[in-house]
Amino acid sequence: AMAENGGGAAERGGPPAPQRVLFPPTFSVSEIKNKQRRHFMFLRWKQQQRKEKLAAKKKRRKEREALGDKAPPKAVPKTIENQRVYDETTVDPNDEEVAFDEATDEFAPYFNRQTVPKILITTSDRPRGRTVRFCEQLATVIPNSHVYYRRGLALKRIIPQCIARDFTDLIVINEDRKIPNGLVLSHMPDGPTAHFRMSSVRLRKEIKRKGKEPTEHVPEVILNNFTTRLGHSVGRMFASLFPHDPQFTGRQVATFHNQRDYIFFRFHRYIFKSEKKVGIQELGPRFTLKLRSLQKGTFDSKFGEYEWIHKRREMDTSRRKFHL
Amino acid sequence: SPQVVWSMLGNRQFCSYKMTTKTQNFCRNEYNLTGLCNRSSCPLANSQYATVREEKGRCYLYMKTIERAAFPRRLWERVLLNKNYEKALEQIDENLIYWPRFIRHKCKQRFTKITQYLIRIRKLTLKRQRKLVPLRRKIERRERRREEKALIAAQLDNAIEKELLERLKQDTYGDIYNFPIHAFDKALQQQGAESESESDAEREEEEDEDVDTREFVEAEDSELSDFEDMDKLETSSEEEQEEEEEVEKKASHSKSKGKTPLKGPARRKRPYIEIEYEEETEPTTKTKAA
């Protein structure tokens, strides 16, 4: 009986199906007890569905062609960005209140050209090789930045010293299990502190490219997709890392692209092949950041005033809701 | 008797506190003085025994004598040792006054070690503690997957190229690149489209005067952005500063607000200040990229 079943599986198909799949359907594929048969019927059902779908598509296309110009416009597929839950803090470009806020916030001196950014890059205690190399590469990417090792110094004591020495920003790269996994970005004279989770860090040698090292030219900055108020402040933080005058002869561009609350950092060299085509070549490290918290003052984990913290229970409930 | 106990536990039968390794035997008994499994260090096989143990930062001397061997509850007598190191040593000495030398010596050694590590603990707690935060596997997996999907949705290369081309069109690079023809045409078209912007009258004047420079100006004429708005409010007096600021600002942060992969305002945001500036000193427009 078993051999018969196995042998008969190949030729099976004709007899049972047409009689059964009538209206009203007397059985569903999941009611068959025999696994082999059930699997077979399911495959056949799937094939049928596919055929129907293909036929429907063809029909639609024919209709569309037949109508020609009068055809209804193509339906736009739904994407997560399309369906994004409207955030009430989205910045309207003409919003005066936002403009006023940004004129008077902590980055105003930078945007007014009163300060030149000077960055201090450091790590958590005892950095491993990968983190050290990443810090070095980051220092080449960001002009006017210095890397210092932290030998067990407390951040709270470093910060007054930095302010005294005219640093404008502090970057601390946190390391866990020999890879960098966190970034704290703190604006110096009393500025906001942002804590990010860093992932997919690629050092320069791991990137498939044939470019040389980034030169000393000041790169341009691209900030994409920072729509809400929170996104705006984070974007301004990033912008204030780079000097205000990019040197276009260097043809380097640093990009912070926000997509669904993940900020992708890339560093490219571009060249315009014609006025409609540009070629980009990736140099420099790349990493992605996810904002964890934004603090009003400089780094202070105990007594700081938090502007925004990522609360998983409340904020991760909807797949279409993003905060940046 | 202790000899019998030792002959059983030490060699022949099973002792649950004993841990053997390749080179040595250890004793896991909490009252053990040295930690090794020896005839003289076994608290079960010695009827007269003493140890030093610490609890919550305070050191105690524990003593066991033959007289109390029948009362397990009262077997171990506990003496709190002084916080002062020398005084504690004296205390040990006077408590174990007629005891075997071995036990006295080992007790003092043990006490020394304990105080050293307590000092170290106190020093370390003053420094920064590393806080270990557990990762939740499900969340990590979810975040990683979302990141991948976001990366695919972002289409970074395309986005960057588009942005760069826009900047080229908006002439932030000025004279560096020579792709003049198309830019002229586009500028002409845009000029027609933007005839309703604020500084109408001024632009009309310019139109009559000089075609070339005006075209560049028109191309940059678009909606307000935040920073440039602020600029307009504050520094309307100093022209050169304005000009540099806005050029570099355009270059350094182009926020495409509300930009999605599907749609987005194609034009950059420029202030109207520029036009006013153009009116006054037209010949210097070409130097803005420098």
* pLDDT digit string, tens, across residues B81-129: 999 999 999 999 999 999 999 999 999 999 999 999 999 999 988 877 7
Domain extent for B69: 2-126
Asked, for residue B35, whether it belongs to a domain, the answer is yes
Q: Which amino acid does the sequence have at B166?
A: E
Residues 6+ apart with CB under 8 A from A106: A187, A189, A190, A191, A192
pLDDT value for A305: 85
Whether residue A286 sits in one domain with residue A159: yes
pLDDT value for A19: 52
Q: How far is CA A308 from CA A177, A292, A304, A311, B164, in A?
A: 28, 8, 11, 9, 32
| From B154, B161, B235, residue closest to A259, measured CB to CB | B154
Q: Work out the average pLDDT over A157-171.
A: 87
A261: left (phi over 0), alpha (psi -120 to 50) or beta: left
The CA distance from A315 to A309, in Å, is: 10
Asked, for residue B257, whether it belongs to a domain, the answer is no
Whether residue A201 sits in one domain with residue A156: yes
Whether residue A282 sits in one domain with residue A138: yes
Asked, for residue B24, whether it belongs to a domain, the answer is yes
Whether residue A46 sits in one domain with residue A176: no
Q: Does residue A176 belong to the interface with chain B, where contact is any CB pair within 8 Å?
A: no
As a whole number, the mean pLDDT across chain A is 84
Asked, for residue A191, whether it belongs to a domain, the answer is yes
CATH number at residue B49: 3.30.390.110
Query: And the tokens for A95?
Result: 């919003």
CATH number at residue A158: 3.40.50.10480
Of chain A, the percentage scoring pLDDT greater than 70 comes to 90
Closest CA of chain A from B259, distance in Å: 6
Asked, for residue A3, whether it belongs to a domain, the answer is no
- Chain A environment of B153 (Cβ under 8 Å): 79-81, 259-260
Helix (H) or strand (E) holding A255: strand A252-259
Asked, for residue A80, whether it belongs to a domain, the answer is no
Q: How confident is the model at residue B198 (pLDDT cuts 50, 70, 90)?
A: very low
Closest residue, chain A, to B248 (C-alpha): A245
- Chain A environment of B127 (Cβ under 8 Å): 152, 154
Q: Does residue A198 belong to the interface with chain B, where contact is any CB pair within 8 Å?
A: no
Asked, for residue A101, whether it belongs to a domain, the answer is yes
Q: How far is CA B38 from CA A44, A172, B132, B223, in A?
A: 77, 52, 39, 88
Lowest mean pLDDT among A129-138, A212-221, B224-233: B224-233
Domain extent for A44: 31-66
Give A49 or B225, the one with higher predicted confidence: A49
Q: How many structural domains does chain B have?
A: 1
| From B127, B164, B227, residue closest to A278, measured CB to CB | B164
Closest CA of chain A from B245, distance in Å: 8
Tell me what ipTM this predicted complex has: 0.78
Asked, for residue B200, whether it belongs to a domain, the answer is no
- Chain A environment of B254 (Cβ under 8 Å): 222-223
Query: Are residues B262 and A79, on separate chains, in Cβ contact within 8 Å?
Result: yes
Q: Which amino acid does the sequence have at A6?
A: G
Asked, for residue A193, whether it belongs to a domain, the answer is yes
Asked, for residue A16, whether it belongs to a domain, the answer is no
Whether residue A45 sits in one domain with residue A165: no
Whether residue A200 sits in one domain with residue A61: no
Give SS3 for A268.
strand
pLDDT of residue B256 exceeding 50: no
Asked, for residue A183, whether it belongs to a domain, the answer is yes
pLDDT value for B278: 45
Asked, for residue B40, whether it belongs to a domain, the answer is yes
**Which residues of A, range 58-117, sit inside 8 Å of B by Cβ?**
76, 79-82, 90-91, 93-96, 98-100, 102-103, 108, 111-113
Asked, for residue B73, whether it belongs to a domain, the answer is yes
pTM (two decimals): 0.64
Asked, for residue B156, whether it belongs to a domain, the answer is no
Whether residue A210 sits in one domain with residue A248: yes
Give SS3 for A35.
helix
Q: Work out the average pLDDT over A49-71.
A: 88
Q: Work out the average pLDDT over A174-195.
A: 89
Query: Are residues A257 and B154, on separate chains, in Cβ contact within 8 Å?
Result: yes
Whether residue A104 sits in one domain with residue A35: no
Give SS3 for B108.
helix
pLDDT value for A14: 45
Whether residue A284 sits in one domain with residue A242: yes
